[in-house]
A and B are shown apart, each in its own frame.
Chain A
Amino acid sequence: MAEVEAAGSGAGGSPEAGTGTGTGGWRRPHGPLQRYYGPSAAEAAEATPDPADINGPHFDPEVFLTKVRSECPLGQLLAREAALGREIRALDSDMQTLLYENYNKFISATDTIRKMKVDFRRMEAEMDDLAANMAAISTSSARVSAALQDRHRRGAQLAGVQALLRKLQSLVEVPGRLRRWAAPGGEPARALRCHARARAVLRHYRHLPSFRAIEDESHAIMADLAQRLRARLRDETLDPKELTECVEMLLQLEEPPEELCQEFLSHAGTRLEAELAALEAELPVADSSAATTPPPASDILDFVDRGSSAFVANLCLLAASYRSLFEGRPGAGDGRLEAFAATLTARYFQLLERRLGLERGLGDTSLLVRALDRFHRRLRALLELLPAAGAEAGAALVARAARERVDRYLRALQTFFLGCLGDVRQALAAPRPPGKEGPGLPDLLATLASSILGQLKAVLAYVQLFTAKDVAFASLPYFKGEFCVEAVREGLVVAFVRWLCRTARGFADGPAERGAPAAPPALLLLLARLCLDYEATTISYILTLTDEQFPPEDTGPAVTPGPALCAEARGAAQRLLDHYVQVQGAAVAQMLRKSVETRDWLGTVEPRNVRAVMKRVVEDITAIDVQVGQLFEEGVRRAQSSDSSRRAFSVYSSSRAPGRYAPSYTPSAPMDTHLLSNIQKLFSERIDIFSPVEFNKVSVLTGIIKISLKTLLECVRLRTLGRFGLQQVQVDGHYLQLYLWRFAADERVVQGLLDEVAASAAHRCLDPVPMEHSVVELICERG
């Protein structure tokens, strides 16, 4: 039973506890109560309301009791009953304490309010008194001020009169002061200030005679001053600052600005002219420079330095002061300054250009670049002040100088190349001490190529100075685009490669025939290889290098593509090699021709030996083979076997010769004799004698051999041979066959030509009795 009551009072005590927590700030640790009301929301959210929880909001006494009774043993029930009793008691006492405390506070608050009501009633009465007093004070004050007003007005009038009088006094004093300050050696600036102050007043009161006198006097003084200032303006020795002051004062004197402007400019002009003249004095006179040019007294950097510090700086100063003086005045803003500056700068540019023209040699490019850089910077400063003072002209000047330098480098490169070639020629022509080989062709080629490339790189490095980042003019659009592409890439690199190809070509095209000293064949060979190397690698390398160092703009002018240059180089190489073949072939052919023409073929004796000239031919061709082998690759031959020469020759002498030599034709049809050879020719390829060769050793030698043998053929056809003459030709032909097949790309070519030689010889023979083949072989092997 007791449990039921306790539970009921626990639930009923909740309203009082609610007010307690509502006041806030009043916290004491009564755990269960706090827990019961505080986080009720959180607890309500708990998943399953437990009706058996005595502190929970869903406490159901019936459930609790049944639960306790059914679950707990008796001892535990008793203990719980006691505990509940204790708890209920504690809760009751807590409630009582709360009630008591809150009550006390209500009491004291009521007391305070009551006291305040009493005080306010007393204060209201005092305020009424105060209002009454203030009204009295204001009325009396009004009375006093009314009494004082009249006197105050009079005092103010007196003060005004006194100020006026003081002004008059100063006006009267103006002429005196002016005279003092405006006197020579005085302070004209102060005089001007004073005059400026007085002028307006004087002008206003000029109808009064006394003021008029003052005004006239001061005018006279000021006119005098102006006169003197003008005189000073014409003085040559004024420095720009004094000049500016002087003009400024004159302007204040209301002198006509147009006239002043004129004088100002002319005065400044004489000064600047003098500076230019000083610069010009350093340049040698035009006439003498034509004949002998003395070395310039100072280097270009120095010259530009002086020019810019003196002339450009002064011009800047002048422009600045002109701007500040005449800005906004009528008659001064009509571009007179611009025109003036433009003429002067144009003269300056002229001088500088002349000076640049003196930079003949290659000198120090970095110095030139620095000089141009400085010039450009200074010029830019000037241009900010005077946009019209020839910006383009300046930039063009710099660009021209750079271009000029590049051109000069190109010429230097060309001279260098010619020098290299001269060295090579000398090395080739130098007599070799016996037993000691001179430098081989590959070495010469390597030296030549590397030195040219090195020089080109060095030149590129120099030229790159023009576009270095720290150089001001490098950011000009010209230097960014056109200079890189047009001047450096096209004008220097491409032009040089082109020129090189042309020069090389010139060796092949030009002098050989008209009696000029012809280039030695080895040089032709060397140059052919050089051009070929250029075509293969060097050109693309150089162009890549250039494009890296001077990146071209996408929208820039069209550039010469690498392949075009390569094609040019290849053309030159081809021309040179062809020419080499022709020269060497002609040399051998000449030898053969002379030998055939000078011999008496009718009266010759039976051949015992191979003629010496044939041995010489074989020797020469072997030497050429070695020479070409040094520079060119072997190349491909038609398939061949080791004993091909013998086999081929036996075919030639056994199966074809009888048909040719036998008197098988009749007088009535002499043309039939050639039927066999004609039919054979129909099936063999046409041989082009002076045809272009490929870039390999075999092709070159084939070309030379073809030329030689064709010559032999034509020469034999022009002769009439005796029996032994024919046999000699037979022996010679066999000898050539034995030794030449290995040089040719297609031994059938050699074979075919030698066959024709033999056939022609037989045809031109009065008594065609060929030699026994075994004898021919014997003679050849012995020889």
Chain B
Amino acid sequence: ARALTPQTAETDAIRFLVGTQSLRYDNQIHIIDFDDENNIINKNVLLHQVGEIWHISTSPADKGVLATCYNKTSDSKVMTCAAVWRMPKELESGSHESPDDSSSNTQTLEPLCHLDNTAHGNMACVMWEPMGDGKKVISLADNNILLWDLQESSDKAVLSSSAALEGKGQLKFTSGRWSPHHNCTQIATANDTTVRGWDTRSMRQIYCIENAHGQLVRDLDFNPNKQYYLASCGDDCKVKFWDTRNVTEPVKTLEEHSHWVWNVRYNHSHDQLILTGSSDSRVILSNMVSISSEPFGHMVDDDELSDQEDQHQEEKIKEPLQDSVIATYEEHEDSVYAVEWSSADPWLFASLSYDGRLVINRVPRALKYHILL
């Protein structure tokens, strides 16, 4: 399994969606609920019969709406398509059914619309407009960027604009990310070793990081709190942080993994926390204080502290917080293809490996208090 996403619109319950990959059997979408207080995992299964799921994303506005990229196999041809779905109402907000009967009465997704890609090639991923009302979707298909407008009640998708990447050879987007800054007008895409930025209004390229990685770039993420900052990871085992205003040199490079890094994610609220998943079967949580929006080296609320002594103590504790690896999680036995932070709890994250194992972890308590206090 490769597809994992948090339920973006859900802000109360910790919920992840996982898509399965199976060529010979019906694929499913598992809705994983994690009850933080009781430490219980609850699972609901939705059938996804059209094909194996390569990518999944949820609407930021409507809890019940999600989009998948899936493989459709027909007479020795494989086509990757994308579609928007709605899940059954009762599952939207996480029903607490008992696990045993969830497997028996599997429900089916209700298809909303199909993103027609016959003219554009295989879909690599679908991105929702991060702050929007769930009406705008961008999908990457081979070398095209397609911007779709979902009509009322999302039952129809209209291609509003598109751009194509021209160049020598077969260019193929591997991944993309929609920036939450600048009124959501920028996206970043990765193809081969290059990272490109686009303006969604004009559909023009605005910056380009040639040779961002020594080999293929696998994933991107924008810093949610600091505009212009972008993280990328790739087959050279590195994670790089860029300032898109100056793309000649990375701001910072991490080299902790021993194989391809497939996924990189900023924590949504504490952007010094970086999560990476790699095919060396490890998930690494890093603390990049120096390039985060967090004040580095001094306190902001100096005047709030009445006692001088307290302040000194605070600073002493703050000081040694350096860029470092916080923890390495080795629970997976196979390559980790996806890591995601929960949208509800900023201290919780899930990782998914090829063999289908989903692991939910928390940020170490000590660090959590350290950041909060």
Contacts of B213 in A (CB 8 A): 513
Contacts of A710 in B (CB 8 A): 259, 279
Contacts of A678 in B (CB 8 A): 333-334, 355
- Min CB gap A500→B, angstroms: 24
Interface string of A747-776 (1 = CB under 8 A from B): 000000000000000011110000000000
Check A495 for interface membership: any CB of B closer than 8 A: no
If A670-B20, A670-B22 touch, whether A688 touches B280 (CB-CB below 8 Å) is yes
- Min CB gap B27→A, angstroms: 9
- Pairwise interchain contact B23-A764, C-beta atoms closer than 8 A: yes
- Pairwise interchain contact B76-A690, C-beta atoms closer than 8 A: no
Check B14 for interface membership: any CB of A closer than 8 A: no
- Pairwise interchain contact A714-B356, C-beta atoms closer than 8 A: no
- Pairwise interchain contact B333-A682, C-beta atoms closer than 8 A: yes
- Min CB gap A38→B, angstroms: 113
Q: How far is the CA of A553 from the CA of B80 in the complex (A)?
A: 76
Number of interface residues of A (CB under 8 A): 34
Check B211 for interface membership: any CB of A closer than 8 A: yes
> Which A709-724 residues sit within 8 Å CB-CB of chain B?
710, 714, 717, 720, 722
Looking at the complex, which one of A586, A602, A674, A690 makes contact with B258 (CB distance below 8 Å)? Answer: A690
Check A160 for interface membership: any CB of B closer than 8 A: no
Q: How far is the CA of A686 from the CA of B257 in the complex (A)?
A: 13
> Which A503-543 residues sit within 8 Å CB-CB of chain B?
512-515
Contacts of A514 in B (CB 8 A): 211, 249
> Which A597-636 residues sit within 8 Å CB-CB of chain B?
602-603
If A515-B211, A686-B281, A690-B259 touch, whether A720 touches B26 (CB-CB below 8 Å) is no
Check B182 for interface membership: any CB of A closer than 8 A: no
> Which B276-301 residues sit within 8 Å CB-CB of chain A?
279-281
If A513-B236, A515-B211, A678-B355 touch, whether A667 touches B26 (CB-CB below 8 Å) is yes
- Min CB gap A676→B, angstroms: 11
- Pairwise interchain contact B334-A603, C-beta atoms closer than 8 A: no
- Pairwise interchain contact A677-B355, C-beta atoms closer than 8 A: yes
Check B354 for interface membership: any CB of A closer than 8 A: yes
Check A681 for interface membership: any CB of B closer than 8 A: yes
- Min CB gap A719→B, angstroms: 8
If A513-B236, A682-B333, A765-B23 touch, whether A668 touches B103 (CB-CB below 8 Å) is yes
Check A137 for interface membership: any CB of B closer than 8 A: no
- Pairwise interchain contact B78-A689, C-beta atoms closer than 8 A: no
How many A-B pairs have beta carbons closer than 8 Å: the answer is 71
Contacts of B356 in A (CB 8 A): 670-671, 674
- Min CB gap B1→A, angstroms: 9
- Pairwise interchain contact B77-A602, C-beta atoms closer than 8 A: yes
Closest B residue to A707 by beta carbon equals B259
- Pairwise interchain contact A720-B73, C-beta atoms closer than 8 A: yes
Q: How far is the CA of A737 from the CA of B64 in the complex (A)?
A: 49
Looking at the complex, which one of B23, B214, B334, B354 makes contact with A586 (CB distance below 8 Å)? Answer: B214
Number of interface residues of B (CB under 8 A): 35
If A513-B214, A602-B76, A603-B76 touch, whether A714 touches B258 (CB-CB below 8 Å) is no
- Min CB gap B199→A, angstroms: 26
Q: How far is the CA of A674 from the CA of B21 in the complex (A)?
A: 13
Q: How far is the CA of A678 from the CA of B355 in the complex (A)?
A: 8
Check B215 for interface membership: any CB of A closer than 8 A: yes
Q: How far is the CA of A765 from the CA of B76 in the complex (A)?
A: 12
Closest B residue to A768 by beta carbon equals B24
Q: How far is the CA of A513 from the CA of B234 in the complex (A)?
A: 12
Most chain B CB within 10 A, of A670, A674, A765, is at: A670
Check B341 for interface membership: any CB of A closer than 8 A: no
Closest A residue to B103 by beta carbon equals A668
- Min CB gap A533→B, angstroms: 27
Check A691 for interface membership: any CB of B closer than 8 A: yes
Check A9 for interface membership: any CB of B closer than 8 A: no
Closest A residue to B1 by beta carbon equals A671
Q: How far is the CA of A569 from the CA of B356 in the complex (A)?
A: 44
- Min CB gap B217→A, angstroms: 12
Looking at the complex, which one of A602, A690, A722 makes contact with B237 (CB distance below 8 Å)? Answer: A690
- Pairwise interchain contact A667-B25, C-beta atoms closer than 8 A: yes
Q: How far is the CA of A590 from the CA of B215 in the complex (A)?
A: 9
> Which A674-717 residues sit within 8 Å CB-CB of chain B?
674, 677-678, 681-682, 686, 688-691, 710, 714, 717
28 pairs, A vs B, C-beta closer than 8 Å: A512-B214, A513-B236, A514-B211, A514-B249, A515-B210, A603-B76, A663-B24, A667-B25, A670-B20, A671-B356, A674-B355, A677-B355, A678-B333, A678-B334, A686-B281, A686-B330, A688-B258, A688-B280, A689-B259, A689-B280, A690-B237, A690-B258, A691-B258, A710-B259, A717-B335, A720-B73, A765-B23, A766-B73
For the complex with contacts A602-B77, A670-B25, A765-B23, 9 further pairs of A-B residues with Cβ separation under 8 Å are A513-B211, A593-B216, A674-B355, A677-B355, A678-B333, A682-B333, A689-B280, A690-B237, A763-B23
- 9 smallest beta-carbon distances between A and B, as pairs: A689-B259, A602-B76, A513-B214, A688-B258, A674-B355, A603-B76, A681-B333, A690-B258, A667-B25
